[in-house]
Amino acid sequence: MSRTLLNFVLVFAAVLAALLIYSKLGRNKSPVPAAVQEVQDFGVGQIRARKEALTDGFRMADGAKTAFAEYYSNLGKMPANNQDLGLPPADSYHSKSVKRIEASEHGITVTYNEQSGVDDGRVVFDAEPKEGNMEWKCSSPSYPDIKTMVPICEYRKESAP
């Protein structure tokens, strides 16, 4: 019995020592230098931040898309601008990453600030009425890698004027 008790005490002491060492190092601290951590990140942190910035604009655009669809459903034509939809002016939409949200006869355009990785970057939601519903196609001339962050969007390079 005393040998079992001794084994228990030794294991208990080892666990306590490990917990003490772990708490001294800190949960979020890494023994790897910061420069090496950045290399190990492989840009994942940047992609995550850009995805969060783009998603912010998607959420903000949802209300405009709903108003757009209702406008078309009620009047049978595409709206010309935010005012037609009863929405605030395009420049009044601001968030951590969004500069403006603008309606046009083609759909909804979200313009982002530098937090998205591209100052004045745009995501366009093209509206297409089909069988009584409004279908939306997402594209961007500003983010070549948008499909990796938002799989429903396509990169569409702007044609030269």
pLDDT tens by residue, the chain, 161 residues: 677 766 666 666 666 666 656 666 655 555 545 444 444 555 778 888 889 999 999 999 999 999 999 999 999 999 999 999 999 999 999 999 999 999 999 999 999 999 999 999 999 999 999 988 999 999 999 999 999 888 999 999 876 55
Within this chain, do residues 60 and 17 fall inside the same structural domain, yes or no? no
The alpha-helical segments, DSSP class H, found in 30-111 are 34-41, 44-75
| C-alpha–C-alpha distance, residues 68 and 134, integer Å | 9
Kindly state whether residues 73 and 98 are assigned to the same domain: yes
Tell me what pLDDT residue 91 has.
96
Find residue 124's DSSP bridge partners.
109, 139
The pLDDT score that the predictor gives to residue 15 is: 67
Q: Is residue 26 part of a domain?
A: yes
Predicted local confidence at residue 38, as pLDDT? 46
For position 32, what pLDDT does the model report?
A: 47
For the chain, the 3-state helix, strand and coil shares in percent, each to the nearest 5, are 50, 20, 30
Judge if 134 and 63 occupy the same domain: yes
User: Taking the model in full, what pTM does it have?
Assistant: 0.71
**Number of domains present in the structure of the chain:** 2
Q: Tell me the residue range of the domain where 14 lies.
A: 2-31
Residue 146 lies in a domain: yes
Which residues neighbour 148 within 8 Å (Cβ) at sequence distance 6 or greater?
A: 47
For residues 67 and 26, state if they share a domain: no
